[in-house]
Structure 1
Amino acid sequence: MKIGCPKEIKPQEFRVGMTPNAAQEAVNHGHEVLIETGAGDGSGFADDAYIAAGARILGTAEEVFATADMIVKVKEPQAGERKMLREGQLLFTYLHLAPDEAQTRDLLASGCTAIAYETVTDDNGGLPLLAPMSEVAGRLAPQVGAWTLQKANGGRGVLMGGVPGVPPANVVVIGGGVVGTHAARIAAGMGAEVTVLDRSLPRLRYLDDVFGGTFKTGYSSSGLVEELLPRADMVIGAVLIPGAAAPKLVTRAQLSSMKPGATLVDVAIDQGGCFETSHATTHQDPIYEVDGVMHYCVANMPGAVARTSTIALGNATMPFMLALADKGWKQACADDPHLLEGLNVHAGQLTYYAVGKALGIDVVSPQKVIKG
């Protein structure tokens, strides 16, 4: 199979879909790897590293899309890239379709087959291709939130760990999954007073058993959120419904109860955001203010630490990428029901229920598709 990896063109996206190690593995499996020139520069991988791995360098994204049987990316294809997709071509990347009708319609119109990293599952009910980026984003969230809290950036001017005689920042993390756990660990490690909210009692018990004393936990409810917001210096939104739009957990009306200069960090922004006042921002212009509350809503947070993120993502995606290339997507999905969960679009048909529900589009069963 010809596997193509174009350079990411989303603003300030420095990751790349394939590392040289992944390219070498694919070549060793008998596949041809096509890399757009400069694709790995933002992550510190020069063209020479891909050439040494056995890949071929192409001059433009157009050449990559026109030649490859499978496109491997990081972020969802942008409007110009979607025009280059073709019928029968396989796209393997993050998609986040539920809040993005334009992308969904374009993918359906292209006739391609699209497998989304964020909906591939595992035996434990986890999301193995989302997890590494969730770990990165979770660990980044308190860091960027602390920066946003600085007075020069519009924040309250509160130091996360305080100093002797001055209390630390009060941080509320909504969601106790991968993002929330890593965010809470880092925020607590910075010296903040942290409370993690979740609606799974088993998850809360796990967090208390493993991290008991490091941070507090609470059962997430609208009443408890309302109680905690006035005390919070920072709120980190870390909720996820796989493949679906994120629920809105903090309303605009509730912002008036928060301290002036308090910070909201919305890690769920790829799925539409979990704060009513959230809208996607970029690393170039990451924050904005609504009703005196600062919002950090960068849609590709892990791109800020591109080398770490690229290697972590490549470690997770490589086995699935090789399975798709070795077997073809239908056989690979037939052999692995967890990979089949990643199938979102095929030949003009939507195949992921949560996306169809969010956008009002009819859905065809992925099981039916692979048998067709």
Structure 2
Amino acid sequence: MWIGVPKEIKDQEYRVGLTPACVRELVSHGHAVMIQAGAGAAVGLSDRQYEAAGGQLAADAMSVYDRAEMIVKVKEPQPSELALLKAGQILYTYLHLAADRSLTAGLVRSGAICIAYETVTGPDGGLPLLAPMSEVAGRMSVQVAAAHLEKPRGGMGLLLGGVPGVAPAHVVVIGAGVVGTNALQIAVGMGARVTVLDKNVDRLRHLSLVYGNRVTGLYSTTDSIERALLSADVVIGAVLVPGGEAPKLVTRAMVARMKAGSVMVDVAIDQGGCFETSRPTSHTAPTYVVDGVLHYCVTNMPAAVARTSTFALNNATIGYALAIADKGWLRALAEDAYLRAGLNICRGHVTYAAVASAHGYMHVPAEEVLV
């Protein structure tokens, strides 16, 4: 199979879909890999390294899309990339379609086979291709919040961990999944006072056993969220509905009652965000203020630590990339229900229920297109 890796063009997106080691793995299985020149340069992966791994260089994105049977990316196609997709071409990347009607429509029109990293499942019920970036984003969320609590960044001028004689910041984490757990780990390590809210009492019980009285676990309700926000200096939105739009758990009215200069980081923004006041931002202009509260809603947070993120992501995605390339997409998806869960759009049909529901498309189960 011909596999193509274009350079990412989303604002300040530095990650790359395949590392040279993964290119070598695919080539060793008899596949051909074409990489756009300079695709890995921002994370210290040179064209020479890709060539040494057996990859072939392409001068531009059009050359990659023209030749490749499967496109391996990191982020969703931008408008100029949508125009390059062909019917029957495999697109293997993050998509987050429930929050993006125009992208969904464009992929439906393309006739491509679109496999989304974020909805591929695992035997334990987890999301193995989303998990590494959730770990990165969760850990980043607290260091980002700590930086933006500083007065020059628009915050209230608070040191997250405090100092002797001065109380630390209160960090409220909404959601105790992968993002939330990684966020509270860093917040605890930095010396903050931490509250985590979730509806899974067993999860809260586990966190209590691990962290003891360093973390307060609360059952998540509208009332408990509102009460926690009133004393919060930092709020981390870490809510996930796999493949679907995030619920708006923090209302505009709640934000209006928060402390001036507090910081909100919505890690769920890829899926529409879990704060009513959230709107997508970029690394170029990451923040805005609503009712005196600083909002950080960057849709590709892990791109800021692109080298770490690239290697973590490739560790997770290469196994499925090999399966698709070795078997072909039809057989690979037919034989693996976990990979099949990643199929969001196929030959003009929306095959993921939450995406179809979000945008009013007819849902065609994946099994029905695997013929």
TM-score by length of 2: 0.99
Question: Partner residue of 1:145?
Answer: 145
* Aligned residue type for 2:166: V
3-state SS in 2 of match to 1:345: strand
3-state SS in 2 of match to 1:235: strand
* Aligned residue type for 1:304: A
- Whole-angstrom CA distance in 2 between matches of 1:34 and 1:210: 46
3-state SS in 2 of match to 1:71: strand
Question: Partner residue of 1:340?
Answer: 340
Percent identity of paired positions between Structure 1 and Structure 2: 58
Question: Partner residue of 2:109?
Answer: 109
Q: Does 1:92 align with 2:88?
A: no
- Whole-angstrom CA distance in 1 between matches of 2:186 and 2:158: 17
3-state SS in 2 of match to 1:212: helix
Q: Which moved more, 1:211-220 or 1:337-346?
A: 211-220
- Whole-angstrom CA distance in 1 between matches of 2:206 and 2:230: 27
Q: Which moved more, 1:251-260 or 1:74-83?
A: 251-260
Once the two structures are superposed, the pairs formed by residues 1-372 of structure 1 within 5 Å of their partners are: 1-370=1-370, 372=371
- Whole-angstrom CA distance in 2 between matches of 1:229 and 1:187: 16
Give the deviation of 1:186 after TM superposition.
Answer: 0.1
Is the 8 Å Cα contact of residues 247 and 274 (structure 1) preserved in structure 2?
A: yes
- Whole-angstrom CA distance in 2 between matches of 1:360 and 1:173: 32
- Aligned residue pair count: 371
TM-score by length of 1: 0.99
* Aligned residue type for 2:216: K
Give the deviation of 1:339 after TM superposition.
Answer: 0.1
3-state SS in 2 of match to 1:213: helix
Give the deviation of 1:211 after TM superposition.
Answer: 2.5
Cα deviation code 1:249-297 (max 9, x no counterpart): 1111111210000110000000011111111111111111011000001
Cα deviation code 1:18-76 (max 9, x no counterpart): 00010000000000000000000111101011001000000000000010000000000
Give the deviation of 1:214 after TM superposition.
Answer: 3.0
Structure 1 unaligned residues grouped into runs of 5+ = none
Q: Which moved more, 1:145-154 or 1:51-60?
A: 145-154
Which consecutive segments of 4 or more residues in structure 1 shift more than 6 A? Answer: none
Q: What CA RMSD, in Å, does the superposition of the two structures yield over aligned residues?
A: 0.7
* Aligned residue type for 2:269: I
* Aligned residue type for 1:23: V
Give the deviation of 1:131 after TM superposition.
Answer: 0.1
- Whole-angstrom CA distance in 1 between matches of 2:345 and 2:264: 33
Cα deviation code 1:302-330 (max 9, x no counterpart): 00000000000000000000000000011
Is the 8 Å Cα contact of residues 148 and 287 (structure 1) preserved in structure 2?
A: no
Give the deviation of 1:360 after TM superposition.
Answer: 1.1
Give the deviation of 1:208 after TM superposition.
Answer: 1.5
* Aligned residue type for 2:308: T
* Aligned residue type for 2:264: L
- Whole-angstrom CA distance in 1 between matches of 2:241 and 2:212: 26
Cα deviation code 1:122-173 (max 9, x no counterpart): 0110000000000000000000001111111111111001011100000000
* Aligned residue type for 2:42: G
Structure 2 unaligned residues grouped into runs of 5+ = none
Is the 8 Å Cα contact of residues 98 and 359 (structure 1) preserved in structure 2?
A: yes
Give the deviation of 1:107 after TM superposition.
Answer: 0.3
* Aligned residue type for 1:262: S
